[in-house]
Amino acid sequence: MSRYLGFDLGAESGRALLGSLSGGKLVVEEVHRFPNTPVRVLGTLYWDTLRLWHEIQHGIGVAARERKLGLDGIGIDTWGVDYGLLGADGMLIDNPRHYRDSRTNGMMEKLFETVPRDQVFGYTGIQFMQLNTLYQLYAQKLAGSPALGAARRLLNMPDLFNYWLTGVAKSEATIASTTQFFDPREMNWSMEMLKRLDLPGEILGEIVPPATLLGKMLEPPYTPVYATAGHDTAAAVAAVPAEGGDNWCYVSSGTWSLMGLELDAPVINAESLALNFTNEVGAAGKIRLLKNIAGLWLLQECRRAWMEEGAESSYEQLAGMAAAAKPFTATIDPDAFLEPGEMPRKIADHCRQTGQEPPQTHGEFARTILESLALRYRYVMESLETLGKRKIEAIHIVGGGSRNALLNQFVADCTGHRVVAGPSEATAIGNILVQAMGAGELANLDEVRAVVRSSFPLTTVEPHPSGDWDRAYQRYRKLVGLG
């Protein structure tokens, strides 16, 4: 039996999961969980990076020292786009900012004055979001950041933690592909674009594919460390339990919803630019053609606001309230809400501005969010069929959001497609099994997915389409300007 430790760091929390692999079956066990709480200082939003590093060390200690387990590998995945800068001495010289920090407000438009929008997409094939690494870096340049001037290496978050574990400073391809200065056709940095923007391409290091052995830990227990699929979505997609064929799409459902196809080559053309899709790297050389959707973050933010008012409900309770609430009271664009804080008020204001009666109860707010996510998925699915030139028959929903049975049913009913839900721990599972690929224990994605299917329960949700969903979809299309 082999044992791998996978660290999965999300926007709300992080955890260490132990994966035991034997006879084509994987058993995962959570050995450590910890909050990931951003910190605001003088109006700037940061990640508590050293606290996260402490928790990673603690998780290794629980597995290796307290439980005295021999580990065959360690891998770390995180959210995309954010980064740390290292100085000439190899030390961190600026605490990593949170992607929701306001420094990137208006930064895309400023950048497009030098390199127009269509040319940025031509270089990178990446969806335009102001939180992308490119705009964070450009904001630093325009602000005359001393840290950027002193930087000798840029490392995205999983690469930074891998560096602290091993002393090896390399960039893993799946996380590099989220920056919007990576060319997925060449599998390399887009140096020409960076030069045009007068951004320091020399601070970018060697790119390695997922499943690369970086080396052993610098300190006991000297476990091998793999550059697994460092972007959490790439790890989750590796664990999608699809079996052959290409008639499926995926939704990695959590704080964000990432919906897409797995392809052999990127789709970078006028149509994918117009639809604002992204081409990111997956495991085993695959391309993830996908759309970033706001996801369950809206519900998380509402829940947080209600808790501050003294009304605490679990996500399960909120789902129950939503199921009992009146359907189709309002429709929102989930992607219209980027910055944290006062989410119920923002949703109510959005409804008023679009001529709708705002939700009144917590259940109505929750139902509005879940229905609107399903409507958004339907539009993205239709766009994927166009871009990928294929007919989708099944939607695989993985990640924590796959436990939301009401949302799964809404997606099936809204799209008219079968939904396969699970595994809920897809990100950590993919992280662990990509490590196993690096160790030579699994040969390819087909073997990875066979392990997933044989190891974890899946739920199939059949659709019950209705005219109500079709009418709601037409309202949604008008709301977002699609006619």
Q: Are residues 267 and 135 in the same domain?
A: no
Could you read off the pLDDT of 393-450 as tens digits, one per residue? 999 999 999 999 999 999 999 999 999 999 999 999 999 999 999 999 999 999 999 9
CATH number at residue 134: 3.30.420.40
Q: Which two tokens stand for residue 396?
A: 């695989």
Q: Are residues 226 and 203 in the same domain?
A: yes
Q: Are residues 371 and 389 in the same domain?
A: yes
Q: Which of 232, 261, 295 is the last residue of a domain?
A: 232
Q: Which of 77, 94, 232, 413 is catalytic?
A: 232
Q: Are residues 267 and 317 in the same domain?
A: yes
- What pLDDT sits at residue 339? 81
Whether residue 361 is contained in a domain is answered as: yes
Q: Are residues 105 and 172 in the same domain?
A: yes
Q: Which of 174, 204, 232 is the last residue of a domain?
A: 232
Q: Are residues 207 and 102 in the same domain?
A: yes
Q: Are residues 221 and 297 in the same domain?
A: no
Whether residue 219 is contained in a domain is answered as: yes
Whether residue 71 is contained in a domain is answered as: yes
Q: How many domains does the chain have?
A: 2
- What pLDDT sits at residue 245? 85
Q: Are residues 217 and 279 in the same domain?
A: no
- What pLDDT sits at residue 420? 98
Whether residue 435 is contained in a domain is answered as: no
Whether residue 433 is contained in a domain is answered as: no
Cβ 249 vs Cβ 259: under 8 Å = yes
Q: Are residues 154 and 137 in the same domain?
A: yes
Residues of the chain with pLDDT under 70: 483
Q: Are residues 196 and 340 in the same domain?
A: no
With a pLDDT cut of 90, the percent of the chain lying above it is 96
Whether residue 371 is contained in a domain is answered as: yes
Q: Are residues 84 and 211 in the same domain?
A: yes
Whether residue 303 is contained in a domain is answered as: yes
232 catalytic residue (yes or no): yes
Q: Are residues 393 and 337 in the same domain?
A: yes
d(CA 40, CA 64): 34
- Per the structure, the complete domain to which residue 69 belongs is given by 2-232
Q: Which two tokens stand for residue 255?
A: 């704080």
Q: Which of 204, 232, 260 is the last residue of a domain?
A: 232
- What pLDDT sits at residue 483? 67
Whether residue 432 is contained in a domain is answered as: no
